Amino acid sequence: MPHATDAPARPDVQTLRDISRELRADIIRMLVEAKSGHPGGSLSAIDALVCLYFGGVLRYRPAEPEWPERDRFVLSKGHCTPALYSVLARAGYFPRERLMSFRKFGSPLQGHPDRTRLPGVEASTGSLGQGLSMALGMALAARIDGSGRRVYAMLGDGEIQAGQVWEAVMSAGNFGVDNLTAIVDCNQVQQTGLVRDIQDEEPLAAKWSAFRWNVIECDGHDHAQVLDALDGARACRGRPTVILARTVKGKGVSFMELDYNWHGKAPSPEEGERALAEILAGESSPAPAALRGKGDR
């Protein structure tokens, strides 16, 4: 459990890798039990979330979820709750066994996060494109309060095709909101195909930079790189920071990786067993080189 006024102590990178493996397994178990949900984007996002919550970055108190000086995290790509819920359970916000109530009638673990029903959830999201605006408001409020609170928002690379995202990007850059960090889970695939084929966003780094953001690119599955990027965001003054985390949708499960059919489809019990075997063995197939490039066409 985190210290009262600080984030959890930073463990070694191997410990973070082990936590990611455990939470990937929890994600699969949740989806199999629920028979619905979004595996692809949850599996691609989990390594960055593990670094944020357990890498000595985010300040929070599970026993006091409304602690005023806590940092805030907004899951703008709100359909990827399996990743968020697995992290919140591991952090101590609720018992791990409650994960198996995911998407069941009456459960606070809904398909999209509801801040009125589950401690640790800072924003009710799910309508894509809105989370960065909410996070910007939180960051501005902290600045007005004279607080040291930091705000983090995770967006998807398909999600940032929404126009409201760029209104928030422009405003945050103009206001120099340096306590705001956006993490874009650049997992290359959206609901119906490859991002670059549906609405190519590259050169993505240049676009954020043009809006006066500090841009950091990293391998979103390399915990050391993600931690370095988060440290760089905290050290930046006068500008918000965006971390472009280059990831693989469905990471850790070979038959899900970079396959848009696994955007919002739960595995069957048999597929779940196969996925768990790969995750627990630490196996996954590398992404094709053409899809790992930054803007290759």
259/254 Cα distance (integer angstroms): 10
The residues facing 219 across adjacent strands are 246
132/291 Cα distance (integer angstroms): 26
CATH of the domain at 201: 3.40.50.970
The encoded tokens of residue 86 equal: 């697995």
pLDDT of residue 4: 39
pLDDT of residue 283: 52
The per-residue pLDDT for range 11-69, each reduced to its tens digit, is 999 999 999 999 999 999 999 999 999 999 999 999 999 999 999 999 999 999 999 99
Q: Is residue 98 part of a domain?
A: yes
State which residues form the domain around 228: 13-292
Q: Is residue 100 part of a domain?
A: yes
The per-residue pLDDT for range 264-296, each reduced to its tens digit, is 999 999 999 999 999 999 854 444 333 443 332
CA geometry: angle 134, 140, 142, nearest 5 deg:
105
50/23 Cα distance (integer angstroms): 9
- The residue ranges of DSSP E strands in 236-286, in sequence order, are 241-246
Q: What is the pTM of this model?
A: 0.94
Q: Is residue 173 part of a domain?
A: yes
Q: Is residue 279 part of a domain?
A: yes
Contact criterion met (CB below 8 Å) for 245 and 187 = no
Greater confidence, 3 or 108? 108
Q: Please spell the DSSP secondary structure of 6-27, one letter per residue.
A: SPPPP--HHHHHHHHHHHHHHH
Residue 164 has pLDDT above 60, yes or no: yes
| pLDDT band, very low/low/confident/very high, at 143 (cuts 50, 70, 90) | very high
Q: Is residue 93 part of a domain?
A: yes
Tokens 């850790």 locate to 252
CA atoms 117, 120, 122, 126: torsion sign: negative
64/75 Cα distance (integer angstroms): 20
Structural domain total, the chain: 1
Q: Is residue 4 part of a domain?
A: no
The per-residue pLDDT for range 94-131, each reduced to its tens digit, is 999 999 999 999 999 999 999 999 999 999 999 999 99
Question: What percent of the chain clears pLDDT 90, i.e. is strictly above it?
Answer: 91
Q: Is residue 7 part of a domain?
A: no
| pLDDT band, very low/low/confident/very high, at 8 (cuts 50, 70, 90) | confident
CA geometry: angle 18, 218, 61, nearest 5 deg:
50
48/225 Cα distance (integer angstroms): 10
Residue 279: half-sphere exposure toward Cβ, Cα within 13 Å: 28
| pLDDT band, very low/low/confident/very high, at 6 (cuts 50, 70, 90) | low
Q: Is residue 5 part of a domain?
A: no
pLDDT of residue 290: 38
